[in-house]
Every structure is written in C-alpha cells, then in structure tokens.
A and B are shown apart, each in its own frame.
Chain A
C-alpha cells in the first residue's frame, strides 16, 4: 500500500498523469488496452478498507481523469458489477459529503459505478431480507439508492450528471419501475414547477431534473413511459425554456422534448437501409454481381410494406414545433440537438406527416432568416437525408435550397458569417449520397456535383473545402454517377484541398478541363468571389480567372469581360477592385493566348469591346498588364475619373488594400500621363495640366487622411512636363501636408507620403541653380525644400498605433538623403555649411535613438552621406574625425541594428562639439529607455565616455553645459525629460559627476536641482513621481527597476503603459555639499506626506537607504532616531499621523517643516496638485 500511495501521490504531484492522458485526447481508443490494469490498480485502493480517505479520493481523481479522456460509457463496464458490490459502493456513497469541493470526483465516480451495479438482474428486495419488526426503521435498499440519486440531482457540481445516469438505469429496473417510477416522476415535476431559471438555485435544480427526465425517457422502455409523457410535456411547456438565456437548459429542453416525442410514436425500421450498403469506392468500382453467396442459411427480412395504421397523438405537433424553433437557436449545440430530434421523430411518422415536417423545415431557408436558421435547417435536412426521409418528391424543393446554402455568405461588418451553413450544406449532400437511389438523384447530379466542386476548390474556409471534398467522395462512392468523379476526387482529395492557393490556381484549372464544370466554376468566381470581402480571395479569384482563361477563352471574351466592364465602375468598392483586377487578368491571359496562337488580339474581342481597345496595341497590353483596366477607361469611361476616384476612395479600403490601390493607381497615372498627356513637342496640354495639377493640389487639403496620401503620391509620380511651370504650386501644396496642425496630428501617413513625394518631385524636376523655381530645384527654393524635410525629422507623434512619427522621420531622412545626393551630383554649391550641419546633426541624433529599426535607418543615411564620393558632400562638420570613427572599410559590416555595435561608435561623437547636443539628446532617450539591450549598450558607452573625460575639466564642463541645455530645452517634454532624468540618475549613481561633489555649491548640481524641481512641480503623473524617488540609488538594479516597481505596485502601473523610470532622484543629489542638501531633504519630506500612500512609503524607504548609503550626511548622534522613525512608521497610514512623524524628522534634522497649503481640496490627488 505505501508503495502504491507513493506512486500515486508522486504521479499527481508532477501531474504527469493528467498530461499523459491529455495526449490521448485525439485518439482515446488507444487508451483502451491500458484501461484494465489502471482500473485494477485504482479499484484495489478504493476497495481496501485500510486505505486512508485521502488516498481513496486520489484514486477517484485518477479514475475521473481517465473517464474524461475516454468517456464514461466505455469505462463503465469495467467497474465490478456483481451483487456483492452493491452494498459497499452504496455505503461509501452515503458516507460522502455532497458539498466538499475537493472530492466531487469521488461522488461522480461512485454514482456512475452504482449505476452500473444497478444493472444486476437481481431483486433488490432480496438485499433487505425480511425486515423484521424490531428493525422496521431500516430503510430498504431501493429507497436508499433513490435517496442518494435524488440528493445528487440537485447539486451544482458534475456529480449531478452522474446522478442522472444512475436514475435512468435504476428507475427502469423491473422492480423499481413497478414500485417507484410514478413517485419519482412526480417528484421531478414538482421540483421543476417550484424552480425558476431566473435564479441560480433554480437553474441548478432544473438542470438536474431535466437531465434525469431526458435520460430516463431515453433509456426506459417506451410503453413504460407512455402513461407519463403527456404530463411531463405539459410541465416542460410551462417552463418556457426557450426564453432562458442558459444554453444548457435550452439544450436539455431539446433533448427532453424529443425523447417525449419519441415516446408517443412507435419506431419504424427504414426499409431501404441495407439497399445502398456499398460504401467502399473499390467495391463500387468492381463489376457488380460478383457477390459471393454465403453458404449459410440467410433469409433477408421481408420488411412488410404495410404501414401499421395507428393514431398519432396530438402532442407530436407540439413537439415538432418546439424542435423547429430549436433549429434557429443562437447556440450551435441547441440547433444540433433539435436537428437530431427532427430526424429521429420524422423517422417514426407516417409519410404525410413526415412530409409536413419537411415543408415547415424549408421555411428556415428564407431571406429573413438568420444564418442560425440556415445552419439549423441544413442540419435537420441532413439528418432527414441520411435517414432516407426526404422523399423523392421533395428532392426538387431541397436541392435548390442546398445549392444556395453551399455558397451562403452573409456580410457582417467587415467580414461575413456562413461557413457553418456551408459546412452543414455539405453534410446534406453527403447524406443524399447514402439515402437516395442513384436514379432519383440523376436529374440533379450535375448541379450538385458542380456546387460541391466549387465549394471544395473555392471556399475561403479550409473546413468547408474539406467537407465538400468528403461529400463529393461519398457521392462518387455510393452514387457512382458524378461525371469524372474519380479523376476529380484524386485531384481534390482531403489533403489537396488544404492549400487554398493551390486550389485556386492549380486544381481549379485541372477540373475546369472537364467541360461540364468549366462554366459553373468561372461563373461562381465572377458572381461570388471577385467581390468577396476578403481581399486575398478577390485577388486569388482573379488570378484563378487568368489561369482558367485558356479553358474557355471565347466565353471569357464574349461573356465574362462584357459583364465585368460595368462592374469596374460600380459603387461597391470590393466589386470594383475585383472587377478591375479580373479585367486585367483575363485580358492579359487573352493576349498571351493570342500571341501563342499567332492570332491578333482582335480574335477575342467583339466589335463593342474592340471599340474600347482600338487604340491600344497588343504590345501595350502585354507590357502594362496591371494597367489594362485603366487603359479601358482611358478611352471608354474616362481614365482620369477612375484613377482620381480610386485615390479618393482609399479611406474605405482595408489598410493592405490601400497600399495596393494607391500604388497601382499611382503607377498607372505615371504611365498614362506619358502616353496621353504629351503633345508632339513633348509638352503638356496646358489646359489639361492646369486642371489636373490644381485639382490634385486642392485634394491635398482633403479632410480624409488617405485622400491626402493618395494625391501626395500621385503628385510625386507626375512626369516632368506636367510639373514644369507648376513646381512651386506643387511644393507648397506638399508642404502644407507635412505640417502638423491640431486637427491632423494623427495624419502621420499623409506627412510621410508628402515627404516622399517632395523628394520624387525634386528628382523629376532636376537641378539648375540659376533656373526658375517654377521648373527646377534651384537656389531660390533649396532652403525651403530642406526646411520641409528637416522639419519632418522632428515628428515624434505617437498615438494608439505607437510611434507613428517614426514613419515620418524615416521618410524625411530618406528624402533628405535623396535630395542631397541629387544636389551634390548636379550643383554641389547649393548645399551650404549651415544646411549640411543641420542635416548631419539631425541624422546623428536619430542614429543614437532607441528604436533599432529607425536607428539603423538613420545610421545608414548618415554613412551614405559621409561616404558619398561622386563628388563628396561639402561642409560635413568634423569630416576627418568622422571618417576615423566610421572607416569606409566597415561600411558594409557595421550593423546599426545591433545596439552593441551602434552605441560605442555614436557616443564618440560626443567629443565633437558640433554633434554633442544632438547625440546627447538622442542618447538620453536610449539610456533612459526601456529596451534592455539598447539601454545596456547605450549606458555603457556613455559611462565609458564620461570616464574618459573625468580629468579633462573643460570637456566635462562643456558636456555638463550641454546636458543642462538638453534638459532645459525639454522640460516637461515627457518623451525626452522622463528618460533623461533616468539617465541622470544613472550617471549620478555611476559617479559621473564625482568631481563636482568636492566643491561646495557648484553650479551644476544647483542648476540640475532647479530643473528637477521644475520638472516635478505640479506633475500629475504618479509614475513620474514614484520614479523620482525611485529604487536603484546604488545603480545596481537599474535594469530591474521597472520590473521591481511593477511587481511592487501592480495596481498603479497598468501593464499596458510603457513604463518610464523617470527622475534624477533627489537621493542622488544629497551627496553634494552645501544648501543643496537641505533643499533636497525639504523636497523629500514633502513627498513623505504626499497624498498617495504608495509614494509616501517608497519615499521613506528610499530616504532610509540613502542615509545608510551616504552615512556621512547626518550627524551620527541623530542617525539612529531618524532611521527608526523612517523604518517603524506606517507611511501608508492616515495623513495627519504621517505628518506628525514627518515633522519629528524635520525637527531632528533641522529642516524647515513644509506647511499645509490653505486650499481644503488640495489633498485630493485628482486635483492634480501635490499637497504637502
């Protein structure tokens, strides 16, 4: 026993057992051969009187884990079920505490076990012997079991389910049925009528009763239940379960109502059920008739045709009605249960009634009905189908419905619902295959086959494709009449249809090779898929049309294209997008085809289409394949309208589609301008030019960001002859887009696109220093252009998407580089020293910042400018030093992405006066930032630099001056000031300013302190405050700092907020001599009475640590008392209490006491004011 106990407990401890069992979830039957020994082991423990209770419970827990994986039905027979097992199991069950939440598994398993034992063919009365007179108080075994079952039917744990199973096995015993069934049913009904599903307890009770009844009516003999069925149904009706929002109750209602229904009508055995038994493909392929006759004497049952006449009780109508309602339930499980019920009951009804059910069922499929109804309706049809209950006369009603369901797709917001409907429709088709004689299906076979193929190849959802493939296979196997069924099945089997791209682009082409499928497939793509809500599907389907074109070139040219043309100017964006792409793909395919066959393209286009295509040469079609749709409208519907409209409509497209639409429209524009807007002299038609440029520039001020994006890029794509004479107008327009104004802060994408466009426009226009600013980049506009671009590099906009300004800075730097390289190659003297310095400094600053991606981009721009040689860029400050720091030999190998490589280099720029400010500005964001690697390498590099200049007082002075300047310039600019203070803190802790600590009242710490105070003043940001007295005064835990705080004050630091450790802490400043020290204490004592208890507590412990660290700042005589007050006070207590303690400290240390401000409201943090 101890060994077993050991095995078990240790198994449980490491919860391997459960883990191992989980592995069997997928194929639980693999577990079967282990079941027996596991059972024996566990049951031995359970049945051993010597086992301690905990061990017994443990054993039951294991048993439960096994049943969970394998299901109790498989497991149950393995429980011992002899007469002698009854008493011990019942006793054990009675001994349990029904409420103990730790041991419900024990009760659950015992109830199931008892339900098994109840099957013994043995009169229970014999257990009780003759209850003699003196023992008349003893309860008969039958009643003991009943009492236990009833007791557990109303518990709220899983034992309730087991109790229902027990009831169903127990009540139906011949002896129990006779004596207790009526009573028991009375009891359940009265329990139900007493409870309401509105309350928790009511729900629990109803759940137990409904389960018990459903199980009972399922397992008991029909005739035994019949007398009670009507009463139970009435009671169930009164519950109005369909109005409950408890899914479980509605499901149980469905289960019970159908069982009641089945009680009212006798079962029938379907006559046809053996007739189409040939399920294997191989067998179907074999010549029929070679069936070997068994030598055994078999007599086929002669299922008499005579339908026995008997009255169907009126209740059936009620039952069916409820099930039909259940089909539309919002929960799949309820619909499922209802569908099965419909199938089961209809199977027992006479023909006419069964047909009525089907009639009502077809009502589920109307436009008003939801996808739920469609789904439930399909499930029910499938259940009827597989039972052979859809009479041939109904096939013609059902097939059209199913065909629609196979492509059911209802828009809901940005996507759609219906994959469950399509899947269920496949189930119906699958059921047809089993239930119908091939001759009955023949008239519909082509439609069904096409629809299934379309679903198997073109459905968006892999499950639906697979379901369709399975249904197709069942039909091929059983019906044998699907055209080319076996060939298609080989190409589109379960595995093949898993890959959607392959389905669309390859399998479809193969299947379309069979003529009866070609047209349905193409029509489906055109009608249902090119306008799909998912752009991936739209694009795939147009590519599929391209691939299918050789299969039906005439049809594509004569029918499909004319149908697509009007769609591509329609109002629905999805349709238009798909139609345009489809026209392009089909035309491209037709052109290729024409070329291959040495035919003129005119072969494929009728007069009408040709009219539109007259001026477009075959060559052009092939060269600009993506432009073909635009070409159409150039001539027919007006290209300008289409392109302009596409650009204006960007707002409504998905973000990926946007990029795509924008780029194709813009590239179409460039190509078309070159093609059509140029006259023989190579000039623009001035009226057209005026109209176009003016309209485009005015759209730059559109209130929709995406429209600004589109037209910025369009201007960037204009050819030179359209810019000529209009350059200033265009640049001015773009400049407006790049400016941030209160209404458009979030328009980062527009600013990015405008900056990109500026560089493009410059490149297109070309450089001529003395030229006109209406035509060239020249001395008159170069400063203006640079100003726009440099301004872009300062865009630090953030919003819910994150650092969106990063896109702008990145684009601005690239454009800076492009314009500068353009200038230097043409007229280098246009770049003056001041501009060059600005460019290099701002790029250097970006090269020291924290986000790897942007830093890397900046780094590459910096090096590209520095190392450019044809000719070199003039006036780069400190060029020689830079060339040393960044040797050309490392141009290719230096990895700016890696903080470990970038920071050691970029910090060297701190020594170059021209760059010091910018680099320090960039660095502070990195050193005080969050990313650990960035922070580590940037901080290390900075400290290394500081160490180097410790003894060079002029370098140090200049550094500190710059540092203060950076601080001052960025006061209250949290993006910089917060990390900057963290950086300062680390520098203090690392002794970077130790030199100054020796000097009384050195201006640096004084200035620093003033700035800190300024920064903290009126700060509402608790994070900032808390950090200002932050943790790592020794500098060792710098990296763990944010995590520490987050752990310690989880409530105050929402996980999603990016955590900035903030302040140069006063604690660090304490080491400076002079007034400084007193000022610092004063500030700290203010914080000791801060309205936020968290801050008070943190301050106290920080002061405590600081005093220990810098022990010389206090008079040893008062040290002990001060430390005691700090450590023993509950700083989270009420403010008056705390204030008193704080004032003691002030007295002890001779620091003036902070005074309460007069305002009575200032104590509340929400006022945003700090009260002292």
Chain B
C-alpha cells in the first residue's frame, strides 16, 4: 500500500463521520434524526433499541446512531462509543425537573475514554414550546463552561420545526473537519 492508496483511504475516512446522538428519554433525539432526514416527525415512539441513519451532508457521509434514552437503556450506551467523531447531546428544554440528571449523565459521558476525541454539540431542543428554557439557561444548568476536555457548542433548536438544526450540525462538521489527526 503506497502513499497514494493511504491518501485515498484517508480522504474516504475523513469524509465519513460517525455521530452519536444521546440524551434523556423524550428529549427528541429520534425526532431530530427524522427531521434531518426529511421524514414525518409526528407520532414518534420511544426508542427501545437503536437506530442508525446514513445521511449525506456537505459531501460528508454521516453515520448517525440514535440510542434510546430510557434509564434502563443508558447502561448500554457504552456499546456505541467506539470511534465516535461527534457527540450530539439533546436536551428537552422544557423538562426543568430533570435538568440536574441531564447534566449528570452528560458529565459521565465526557469522562469516557473512548469519547475523548469527540466534539460535543448540545441541542437545547423544543425551543418552540412556550415554557422552554433558552440555550443560555441550559448552558448554565449543565455547567458547560466548565468543560475543558472537549470542543463544545450549544445551539437552541426545535427538532419538531427543524429550526436551527443545520447551523448546529454545520458547526459540528466544521470542528471535526479541522482536526489534523483523527483519534484511533
């Protein structure tokens, strides 16, 4: 295998990203994925297993993994960490009661070795709901500013309407693409 083959493979690899979408149950992960894929978003049922969607965006091939967020399933999340380029953390901005829990789960993930090189995008979802907390409040509640280990960004959005989904994903892709050396 000569340099030219290596470069070809590398280019292919760089064009193909793995994104892991996590968050508490009912956060809107599956809705977000469907919206992004242009599917009907009404009548989404809780995810009991996991979904994988392959999307094309800006010349990237995105393998997006969406795993159910119910508490019984969370211990299985670690099955999906491997070679993750980007972590999308979805928050139900209207779910004030569980923000505390939400922050705890997120910090647990960030300690994971196998997610060490991944970029973090937080979606403050359901901004369309009347009582939704703004992104800045979520940022504070989740103590994002204390994160030192990962590149991160928070984006208020609505998976239901599709509002602000693209800017979030674009930031994520830009960040990942500007890495020189992919993690092992």
Interface residues of A (CB under 8 A from B): 29, 32, 77, 81-83, 119-122, 169, 172-174, 219, 221-222, 262, 266-267, 269-270, 272-279, 294, 296-304, 332, 336, 344, 347, 386-388, 420, 423-424, 426-427, 430, 434-435, 463, 466-467, 470-471
Contacts and interface: CB of A to CB of B under 8 A. Distances in A.
A83 B50 CA distance: 10
A1155 to B, nearest CB: 73
A1078 B100 CA distance: 117
Given A32-B54, A122-B48, A222-B114, 6 more contacts: A122-B73, A274-B178, A297-B135, A301-B147, A301-B150, A303-B148
Contacts of A302: 148
A299 B82 contact: no
Contact of A336 (B1, B52, B149, B150): B1
B60 to A, nearest CB: 12
A117 to B, nearest CB: 9
Nearest to A294: B171
28 contacts: A119-B80, A120-B49, A120-B50, A121-B50, A121-B73, A122-B76, A169-B79, A221-B78, A222-B113, A267-B184, A273-B179, A273-B180, A276-B180, A277-B179, A277-B180, A278-B178, A298-B151, A298-B152, A298-B171, A299-B151, A301-B147, A304-B148, A347-B184, A423-B3, A426-B3, A427-B3, A463-B2, A467-B3
A174 B75 contact: yes
A1081 B52 CA distance: 85
Contacts of B52: 77
Given A273-B180, A301-B151, A344-B184, A424 B50 contact: no
Given A121-B73, A273-B180, A302-B148, A467 B2 contact: yes
Given A301-B150, A347-B184, A435-B180, A296 B155 contact: yes
B89 to A, nearest CB: 14
A172 B82 CA distance: 12
B148 A121 contact: no
Most buried by A among B48, B61, B153, B180: B180
The 8 A-B residue pairs with the shortest CB-CB distance, nearest first, are A121-B76, A277-B178, A467-B3, A77-B52, A121-B73, A423-B2, A427-B3, A298-B153
B145 interface: yes
Contact of B49 (A83, A219, A463): A83
Contacts of B2: 420, 423-424, 463, 467
A272 B180 CA distance: 8
Contacts of B23: none
Contacts of A267: 113, 116-117, 183-184
A943 B83 CA distance: 81
A274 B180 contact: yes
A466 B145 CA distance: 47
A919 to B, nearest CB: 60
Interface in B42-75: 48-50, 52, 54, 61, 63, 67-68, 72-73, 75
A430 B5 CA distance: 13
Contacts of A467: 2-4
A430 B181 CA distance: 13
B184 to A, nearest CB: 5
B147 A174 contact: no
Contacts of A222: 113-114
A120 to B, nearest CB: 5
Contacts of B155: 296
Nearest to A168: B82
B3 A121 contact: no
B159 interface: no
B15 to A, nearest CB: 9
Nearest to B144: A299
A568 B128 CA distance: 86
A279 B181 CA distance: 12
Contacts of A386: 180-181
Contacts of A122: 48-49, 73, 76
Contact of A430 (B3, B49, B79): B3
Contacts of A278: 178
Nearest to A27: B12
Contact of A121 (B49, B150, B168): B49
Contacts of A420: 2
A297 B154 contact: yes
B136 to A, nearest CB: 8
Contact of A269 (B6, B72, B117): B117
A471 B135 CA distance: 44
A269 B75 CA distance: 25
Contacts of A388: 180-181
Nearest to A116: B52
Contact of A77 (B7, B48, B63): B63
B131 interface: no
B34 interface: no
A266 B148 contact: no
A299 B155 CA distance: 13
Interface in B82-121: 82, 113-114, 116-117
Nearest to A428: B3
Given A121-B73, A122-B49, A296-B153, A270 B181 contact: yes
Contact of B139 (A297, A427, A463): A297
Contacts of A269: 116-117, 149, 183
B3 A301 contact: no
A271 to B, nearest CB: 11
A387 B181 contact: yes
A471 B148 contact: no
Contacts of B48: 83, 121-122
B145 A299 contact: yes
Contacts of A277: 177-180
A174 B78 contact: yes
Contacts of A82: 49
B41 to A, nearest CB: 21
Contacts of A304: 148
Contact of B50 (A81, A272, A434): A81
A122 B7 CA distance: 40
Contacts of A426: 3
Most buried by A among B54, B150, B154: B54
B160 to A, nearest CB: 21
Interface string B122-144: 00000000000001000100001
Contacts of A344: 184
A479 to B, nearest CB: 13
B49 A81 contact: yes
B153 A297 contact: yes
Interface in B1-33: 1-4, 6-7, 12
A267 B149 CA distance: 13
Most buried by A among B49, B80, B168: B49
A386 B171 CA distance: 25
Contact of B79 (A29, A119, A297, A471): A119
B93 to A, nearest CB: 15
A370 B184 CA distance: 30
Contacts of A272: 180
A470 B7 contact: yes
B49 A299 contact: no
B50 A172 contact: no
Nearest to B83: A219
B1 A471 contact: no
A85 to B, nearest CB: 10
B97 to A, nearest CB: 24
Contacts of B79: 119, 121, 169, 172-174
A547 B72 CA distance: 76
A301 B50 contact: no
Nearest to B148: A302
A409 to B, nearest CB: 16
Contacts of A470: 3-4, 7
A537 B105 CA distance: 66
A463 B3 CA distance: 8
B55 to A, nearest CB: 11
A218 B175 CA distance: 26
A781 B177 CA distance: 89
